[in-house]
Amino acid sequence: MSKSIGPLFMEKTMYKNMPKTPRQNQAEKPPLQMPYSGTPIDLPNPMALEHKDVALDKAMIDRKSHRKYTDQPLNLKEVSYLLYVSQGVKKTTENNTFRTVPSAGASHAFETYILIRNVVDLSPGLYRYLALEHQLLKVSDDPNLTTKVKVACLDQPMIETSALTFLWVADIKRMHYKYGERGYRFIFLDAGHVCQNIYLACENLGAGTVAIAAYDDTAVNAVLKLDGEAQFATYIAPVGKI
């Protein structure tokens, strides 16, 4: 009997079954960040935010998924804080970034996109976080973006009521370079690290979030203009005041 895709994936990504990785073959390492063009927006110092300063143990205990949000907007300082605690760069070397979340082999293969709907001093639209510079870059002001993302997320209503929605994108070459096909395992582990920090940070902001893994991959990738192979959507999380 042939194996289904799950057991087959686990078998094929065992170390004993993998060929040499690009790094072992002395291939050139992919860049630390996807290229971009346009004029970025500076973000405020993420650590200057006045917040509730909730104790870590309380944040972990109180953390839960929220699917209903108020109409109160987030502000730019809060957006800066959420971006930094989930993908912020603490240190950069020639070959690696060290960030506020763990990543297999310091690969940090994620790019963060945010759909802005209700944020003070940011016009609605789709933005990309430039982690190396701690800046935002607007990539689309399509007025139908919220509807498109909601439909792509199987019509989950939180997309239309949140202040913003995080969409994390894997640039798989960064992970594949060191780990080959096994890197696909680590991408999804890393996504959990990132989203958990959003959950905990929301406790400091009087905000809430809910992790979304139920979405139409092809539709989300189309909204983000991704090919679905070299770069693809991995995890989604709306955020709003509660």
Position 162 scores a pLDDT of 98
Domain count, the chain: 1
Which residues in the chain come in under a pLDDT of 70? Answer: 1
- Tens of pLDDT, residue by residue over 19-35, are 999 999 999 999 999 99
22: in domain: no
- Tens of pLDDT, residue by residue over 116-130, are 999 999 999 999 999
Position 208 scores a pLDDT of 98
What is the residue range of 196's domain?
41-241
211: in domain: yes
Position 3 scores a pLDDT of 85
Cα 209 from Cα 200, distance rounded (Å):
10
CATH of the domain at 153: 3.40.109.10
164-173 CB burial, b ≥16 within 10 A, e <16: bbbbbbbbbb
pTM confidence score? 0.96
Q: How far is CA 138 from CA 98, 109, 112, in A?
A: 25, 20, 12
- Tens of pLDDT, residue by residue over 168-192, are 999 999 999 999 999 999 999 999 9
Residue 94 burial (10 A CB sphere; 0-12, 13-18, 19+)? exposed
